[in-house]
């Protein structure tokens, strides 16, 4: 764990501007599942001692060869939540480490989508590197086990808002079997739950012109089917000593910046069965003056969800930043 310690030490010494966005600060957005691809992170794995340390820490705690998993897959393994959550978290953290080595970056806030929220908590100083991987490995294990038991699925739906979709689910008495897993943008939703109920709802939506697309995941995340994992999540966080965030972190469950570690833990536990309120999170951070967004992921995903509302913004993906020469950002 010596190399992982170096990474933690490097970030402990960083100073983050939390006074707002007047100085041109960036909000870091961390992707979760749905961005994995074979070969991801090839440009950062051997970039430095510190980036190698991230992979070593992830491998030590998960007992996986995370380097091989990211570079070689196979994709059939990467689509399974246990492997994907660990791989994506590793890429997220290693990307930030590489960026900090190359640029002087003013980070004013952060957020992460679903599993990506754990990477954001690490950036904010709530988790150490070791705690981050202990938490994500446990979460991924719980979800992988429940996925095998429940046999659920997820679909993305475009052209319909959250309120209308919730009304449709309620009207057909599916509230105990289905839920909205992600409210990503005004007309971009994800539904999750039992396969049989989803099949019926997909038929109704398709008949109305909103044809859902099945997601390549192996479970029904953020739905009632994950309820059996709540007690285990409580137990996980009872063993970890979280620190108050050093920068604002907008959380999926509340869609606002949280400062209390007790509230953060409650959000992380309940998030297993409750939706990702990404649309509201992005609107709320913009109301607080956030205007520059940097996505951390293996491919562009979250930037497409930002509703600009005619407000001047700057959006960038981490791969673009990593290809630039060393300079302040």
CB distance 155 to 93 below 8 Å:
no
Domain 152-214, second-level architecture = 2-Layer Sandwich (3.30)
Residues 6+ apart with CB under 8 A from 174: 193, 197, 200, 201
pLDDT along the chain (329 residues), means of 10: 46 38 78 92 92 97 97 94 97 96 92 98 98 98 96 94 95 94 95 96 94 93 96 97 97 97 98 97 94 94 80 88 64
Q: With CA atoms as reference, report the closest residue to 271 among 258, 253, 247, 254.
A: 253
- Match domain 2-148+224-328 to its CATH number in 3.40.366.10, 3.40.50.300, 2.60.40.2310, 3.40.190.10: 3.40.366.10
Residue 35: its pLDDT value, please? 86
Q: Where are the beta strands (DSSP E) in the chain?
A: 26-30, 103-104, 107-112, 152-158, 178-185, 188-194, 213-214, 249-250, 257-258, 292-296, 314-317, 327-328
Distance in angstroms (rounded) separating the CA atoms of residues 3 and 130: 11
pLDDT at site 22: 43
Alpha-carbon distances of 291 from 22, 195, 246, rounded to whole Å = 9, 40, 20
Same CATH fold assignment for domains 2-148+224-328 and 152-214: no
> Tokens in use for 288?
């607080």
Can you tell me the distance from the alpha carbon of 264 to that of 253, in angstroms, rounded to the nearest whole number? 10
Q: CB atoms < 10 A from the CB of 188, how many? A: 19
Sign of CA dihedral 252, 255, 256, 262: negative
Identify the pLDDT of residue 309. 58
Question: What's the rounded Cα separation, in Å, for the pair 46 and 43?
Answer: 7
What's the longest Cα–Cα distance across the chain?
58
Q: Report domain extents, the chain.
A: 2-148+224-328, 152-214
């Amino acid at each position: 764990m010596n190399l992982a310690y170096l990474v933690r030490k490097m970030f402990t010494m960083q100073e983050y501007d939390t006074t707002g966005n007047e100085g041109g600060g960036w909000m870091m957005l961390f992707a979760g599942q749905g961005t994995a691809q074979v070969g991801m992170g090839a440009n950062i794995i051997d970039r430095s001692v510190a980036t190698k340390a991230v992979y070593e820490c992830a491998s030590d705690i998960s007992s996986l060869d995370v380097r091989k998993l990211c570079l070689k897959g196979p994709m059939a393994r990467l689509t399974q939540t246990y492997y994907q959550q660990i791989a994506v978290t590793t890429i997220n953290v290693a990307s930030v480490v590489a960026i900090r080595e190359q640029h002087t970056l003013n980070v004013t806030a952060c957020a992460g989508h679903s599993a990506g929220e754990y990477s954001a908590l690490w950036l904010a100083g709530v988790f150490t590197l070791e705690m981050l991987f202990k938490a994500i490995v446990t979460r991924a294990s719980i979800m992988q086990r429940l996925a095998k038991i429940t046999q659920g699925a997820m679909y993305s739906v475009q052209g319909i808002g959250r309120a209308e979709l919730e009304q449709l689910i309620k009207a057909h008495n599916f509230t105990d079997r289905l839920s909205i897993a992600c409210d990503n943008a005004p007309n971009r939703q994800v539904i999750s739950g039992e396969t049989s109920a989803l099949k019926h709802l997909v038929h109704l939506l398709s008949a109305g012109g909103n044809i859902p697309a099945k997601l390549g995941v192996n479970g029904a995340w953020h739905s009632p089917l994950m309820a059996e994992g709540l007690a285990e999540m409580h137990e996980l966080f009872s063993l970890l000593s979280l620190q108050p965030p050093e920068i604002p972190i907008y959380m999926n469950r509340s869609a606002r910046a949280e400062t209390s570690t007790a509230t953060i833990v409650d959000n992380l536990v309940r998030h297993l069965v409750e939706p990702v309120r990404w649309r509201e999170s992005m609107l709320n951070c913009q109301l607080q003056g956030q205007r520059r967004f940097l996505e951390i992921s293996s491919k562009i995903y979250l930037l497409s969800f930002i509703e600009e509302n005619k407000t001047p913004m700057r959006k960038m993906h981490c791969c673009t930043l990593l290809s630039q020469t060393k300079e302040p950002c």
